[in-house]
Chain A
Amino acid sequence: MRKFVWFVRFALAAVLCLPGVASAAEELVNSAKYQKAPPYVVGLSNVSPSNAFKVAMVEEFKAVCEERKDLIKAYYITDAGGQIAKQISDIEDLIARKVDILLVTAASPTAISPVVEKAVEAGILVVTFDNLVETDKVTIRVEANESGIGTQNMEWLAKKIGGKGKIVMLGGIKGTSSAQLRWDGALAVLKKYPDIEVVGEAWVNWAFDKGKAAMESFLAANPVIDGVWTDGGGSAQGALTAMIEAGRVVPIVGTASNGFAKIWSKLKAESGFEAYCATNPPYCSVLALNFALDVMAGKPVQRHIRTDLAIMDNGNVDVLVRPDFSDMFWVDTLLSDEKNKELWGSK
């Protein structure tokens, strides 16, 4: 029965084009070094549960650890509260607890490298994912296709508006690597479309309030806007709300938050509105864990892995949206419905 549940869940995820795997480098992990009979002890060192994506990421990980007791005898999750010093001591702590597998999403790409290297030297299989640690010593590096969010969203938007017109771009947090990679990816696509003019650009921290405020300004300043590029769920939701209030709704791209999907699905039913999302799934923690378990089982695994993006478009938005859940829910999930209800349903 349990196996069947797993099958159903993965089949559901396939609706969203379950992230496949593309290798960035050909080098393999030395599985012989880590191969060991189950069950294992697993640690997850998290930077901070400060946003909905991170909350979902941790819950996805927990759910798998709870279900696969045959493989995982104990798991520890630490939360660094965004502090580098706290994360260093967290990882020291996990080393002391003799974990077999350590997953790290880092508070800083460089500052926690030494302690991560120490974990590798202690014989622990270390996987960095989500917010990456920049050290060659790490066993597996699972990289989200950040620039792909920028390029795939922009490709869709450019085609949607017929390769010409005026667009607005709303970026994430200026200065973070993921926001910059997405932005640069979008700009690279724009080079192919000389007839598309960017009439407004702003960095809105992926936040609803700033996305809405910026979009209100752009709508007021520009009599014509043909499309909106964003790289976030909150920013897309804010911009779309501003467009609805101004009575000027145009195609928009973002990432797969439930708040965005709710408005989108409603508008689609009313007026055939179209939008698009390329999204990095919150179960990146589960993907990272699975690669590590494969190594433990002696299977060949690449050292550098880049996961594919999940897509939400007019074809599947109505299936994925959850009108009964909070706006902060990430529509792309492997969690059970009960667990999601507990997390995102009305309390």
Chain B
Amino acid sequence: MPPRLKKFIRNPALGNTVPIVCLIGVLLAAAGTIAPGLLARSSLFNLLRLAAPLGIICIGQTAAILSGGVDLSVGSVAILTNVVAANILQGRDANNLEAFAVCAGQAVLIGLVNGLAVACVGINPFVMTLAMSIVIQGAALVYSGGAAGGAASPLVKFMGVGTTAGLPTAVVIWLVLSAVTLFVLHFTTPGRRLYATGANRKTARLSGVNVPATLVLVYVASALSSMAAGFVVTGNMGVGTLEWGFDYRLISMAAVIMGGTSFAGGQGGYAGSFVSAIALIVLNSLLTIVRVGEPVRQMIYGGVILISLWASTRKR
């Protein structure tokens, strides 16, 4: 192997990107053997479209885990966004601005509370964001009276199921947000501060990084990315509903850790999470085809987290 290629593959910011791309290849080959129709363009686009909300949520989750924490409130923020947005939109484009503003406002508020509690009060991020997710679930129930309603506007539907330049719009949104994320993480000061904070808070503080501000920013960004994912899902479903089948909290953690971002913080990056999100959705589809039930899937997602954690501990 040429040393340059070797150096590229070993780049810590890539995490497990290269092996996971190979894994996706294997999964697709398996899928193609079992059911050739899965490799059709429309089907691959469907898979990518399904991966988009997960991938977008992983932006925030990656940042949270890089900072040495975790965000367990991602799924509930997405559900709250769906319930509130659909209710405000009522199927009309005229209400887009209000829906975006309200949902962004509540996401920023949630992120601020999470971030301040973790950074300034010193509450464990696991406990804090878990409690927050329970509060948000309750809020979504109260807001909707248990009976969510409303409908996505044409613009939001376009985000969920439309196509732009031949690609599903959801995927285009995901790609744009991913590019911004990679740029911020690797080419800007806040990005470097995030890595420094995650690697070692004490040295980060001593080198002049404003650690609390960085952490608050991470949780606000995480809530905002979950909000964006909430809009994509709302567009895909077309309605507001409390009855979501996918557990984004668990799958997003699995994707980020599988992507090679260290749970201890400061190591890894979004590229690994990006490809892991695709790998997990392809895996999910394959498991559906070969009739593996939900309980076994939960075990597989849990197993993915455990194996990735184990592998990352061994590396060190």
Q: Which of A175, A216, A259 contacts B295 (CB 8 A)?
A: A175
Q: Can you identify 20 A-B contacts, CB atoms within 8 angstroms?
A: A51-B242, A205-B243, A205-B294, A210-B245, A220-B40, A220-B43, A221-B31, A221-B35, A221-B37, A222-B37, A223-B37, A238-B237, A326-B240, A327-B149, A328-B148, A328-B149, A328-B239, A343-B147, A344-B147, A346-B90
B55-81 vs A: 1/0 string, CB under 8 Å? Answer: 000000000000000000000000000
Contact digits for B146-185, partner A, Cβ 8 Å, 1 yes 0 no: 1111110000000001000000000000000000000000
Instruction: Flag whether B50 is at the interface (Cβ < 8 A).
Output: yes
Contacting residues of chain A (22-72) with chain B, CB-CB under 8 angstroms:
49-52, 54-56
Contact for A50 among B42, B146, B293, CB less than 8 A: B146
In whole Å, how far is B151's beta carbon from the nearest beta carbon of chain A? 8
Q: Which residues of A are found within 8 Å of B150, using beta-carbon distances? A: 326, 346-347
Min CB gap A145→B, angstroms: 23
Q: Does B246 contact A (CB under 8 A)?
A: yes
The answer to whether B245 and A209 have CB atoms under 8 Å apart is yes
Residues of B contacting A85 in the complex (Cβ-Cβ under 8 angstroms): none
CB of A253, distance to nearest CB on chain B (Å): 19
Q: State in angstroms the CA–CA spacing of A174 and B245 once bound together.
A: 12
> A271: shortest Cβ distance to chain B, in Å?
20
Total chain B interface residues with beta-carbon distance under 8 A? 41
Given known contacts A220-B43, A234-B241, A209 and B289 CB-to-CB distance under 8 angstroms? no
Q: CB within 8 Å of B: which of A189-218? A: 200-214, 216-218
Q: A208-B239, A241-B238 are in contact. Are A221 and B38 (CB under 8 A)?
A: yes
Indicate whether A11 reaches chain B with its CB closer than 8 angstroms. no
Interface centre among B43, B147, B293 (most CB of A within 10 A): B147
Determine if B306 is an interface residue (Cβ-Cβ < 8 Å): no
- The one of A217, A238, A245, A344 in contact with B149, judged by C-beta atoms closer than 8 angstroms, is A344
**A211 partner residues in chain B, CB cutoff 8 A:** 245
Q: Is the CB of B241 within 8 A of A55?
A: no
Contacts of B284 in A (CB 8 A): 213
Point out which of A204, A209, A344 has the most chain B C-beta atoms below 10 A from its C-beta: A209
A246 within 8 A of B: yes
* CB contact list, A71-118 vs B, under 8 A: none
Q: How far is the CA of A259 from the CA of B244 in the complex (A)?
A: 15
Q: How far is the CB of B271 from chain A (nearest CB, A)?
A: 25
Measured between beta carbons, the chain B residues less than 8 angstroms from A52 are: 146-148, 243
B113 to chain A minimum Cβ distance, whole angstroms, is: 22
A32 to B147, CA, bound (A): 41
B237 touches A220 (CB 8 A): no
Residue B313 interfacial (CB < 8 Å):
no
The complex places the Cα of A173 from the Cα of B149 at a distance, in Å, of 22
Docked Cα-Cα span, A51 to B244, in Å, equals: 11
Does A50 lie within 8 Å of B141, measured CB to CB? yes
Contact A209 B244 (CB under 8 A): yes
Contacts of B31 in A (CB 8 A): 221
A216 touches B149 (CB 8 A): no
Docked CA distance A175–B295 (Å): 9
List residues of chain B with CB within 8 A of the CB of A50: 141, 146, 242
Q: Chain B's nearest CB lies how many Å from the CB of A186? A: 15
Contact A346 B291 (CB under 8 A): no
Within 8 A of B (CB), among A251-276: 259
> Looking across the interface, which residue of chain A has its beta carbon closest to that of B238?
A241
In whole angstroms, what is the CA distance A273 to B242 when docked? 29
Q: Is the CB of B288 within 8 A of A347?
A: no
Given contacts A221-B37, A326-B240, 7 further A-B contacts (CB under 8 A): A202-B288, A208-B239, A213-B285, A219-B43, A223-B37, A259-B239, A347-B150
